[in-house]
Amino acid sequence: MIKSDNYTYINPNTLEAEFPQEEDNVLRPVEQLRERTPEEMAKLRNHPFFK
């Protein structure tokens, strides 16, 4: 993890700038990420956004 003195986090409750704590505060998905089907991958590869 990169530590930087000038990186701040804005607390959404107080709107105060604060320094991030350790990784415990990172929200991780609870469910397993779903794998895309080959058809979905083909659609994404052909999408203009990825051209």
State how far the Cα of 19 lies from the Cα of 13, in Å rounded to an integer: 15
How far, in whole angstroms, is CA 34 from its chain's centroid?
16
Burial 15-49 (b: 16+ CB within 10 A, else e): eeeeeeeeeeeeeeeeeeeeeeeeeeeeeeeeeee
Q: What is the DSSP letter of 33?
A: P
Which residues neighbour 17 within 8 Å (Cβ) at sequence distance 6 or greater? Answer: 8, 9, 10, 11
Q: What is the pLDDT of residue 39?
A: 92
36 or 20, greater pLDDT:
36
**pLDDT per residue over 23-48, tens digit each?**
555 666 677 777 889 999 888 888 88
What are the structural domain ranges in the chain?
12-50
